[in-house]
Amino acid sequence: SLTGSPVILELLQNWVPRVSHYFDKEHYTYVGHQIVIQESIEHFGAVVWPGALALSQYLESNQEQFNLKDKKVLEIGAGTGLVSIVACILGAYVTATDLPEVLENLSYNISKNTQNMNMHKPEVRKLVWGESLNEDFPVSTYHYDFILATDVVYPHVVLDPLLATMVYFCRPGTVLLWANKFRFSTDYEFLEKVCDTFNTTVLAEFPESNVKLLKATVREN
């Protein structure tokens, strides 16, 4: 089937809240846990994109290289929450962020998949890229060991604010892990900007789905 195009299914009526048109549940298994993700047809952020699968798989397979246990992890553009859930299962203190209209479905998935587990309770917060960063996440209080981002380069109008957000949260010692399906020239242009801004390494490629997984850290003078 065509990757990047959500499957169109019949809407489930009756029991769903009117404001959220849920239409599908996807089942995944990572780190020995079954994860059930509820998707929504209303927003880009409400479908599981291939970058999220790639990063989830990579974190599961490379726990020694990237040990998330008791680390502070921020996911930007968390979407359905799959990657944040995997990071929780791996023992991280997770803050999952996205646009206000995505938060209801995101919160639902995260709470549903992490309740009754012996792990740090994850937090879900609004984050509009490039806006009110210092008010909402003041430098003095918030420092993250890892920033996770998957398939964030899609709505091309927000690339400058996205880069500004990555720069804001990437302090010395922070590791940014970014997985993206590369479709358009703008994706590669953004990759160039990331490479110009950070120390950047390609950790993995998933050729059949055109996904690259990159690690970026601050250039220390």
- Taking CA atoms, 7 is separated from 117, 126, 137, 196, in Å, by 31, 27, 36, 37
- How far apart, in Å, are the Cα atoms of 98 and each of 40, 54, 87, 128, 190? 14, 19, 16, 7, 20
**Cβ contact 122:96 at 8 Å:** yes
* Residue 26 falls inside a structural domain: no
Cα dihedral sign, 205-206-207-212: negative
Asked if pLDDT for residue 43 goes beyond 70, the answer is: no
- The count of residues in the chain is 221
> Maximum CA pair distance of the chain?
59
Domain total in the chain: 1
Q: 73: which 2 tokens? A: 């992890």
Residue 36 lies in a domain: no
Minimal CA–CA distance to 218: which of 140, 143, 153? Answer: 143
Percent of the chain with pLDDT over 90: 58
Q: What dihedral angle (degrees, nearest 10) is formed by the CA atoms of 48, 34, 208, 52?
A: 40
- Is 14 within a domain? no
The C-alpha atoms of residue 186 and residue 202 are separated, in whole angstroms, by: 18
pLDDT given for residue 25 in this prediction: 76
Res 29: pLDDT: 85
Q: What is the pLDDT of residues 53-98, one digit of tens each?
A: 889 999 998 999 999 999 999 999 999 999 999 999 999 999 999 9
Mean pLDDT for the chain overall: 85
Q: 8 in a domain, yes or no?
A: no
Cβ burial, residue 207 (10 Å; 0-12/13-18/19+): exposed
- Decide if 29 is inside a domain: no
Angstrom distance (rounded) from CA 90 to CA 113: 13
In-domain check, residue 112: yes
> Which residues have C-beta within 8 Å of that of residue 96, sequence separation ≥ 6?
75, 78, 81, 84, 106, 110, 122, 123, 124, 125
CATH number of the domain residue 193 falls in: 3.40.50.150
Range of the domain at 130: 46-218
Q: What is the tens place of the pLDDT at every residue in 86-129?
A: 999 999 999 999 999 999 999 999 999 999 888 899 999 999 99
Note whether residue 39 is domain-resident: no
* 189 found inside a domain: yes
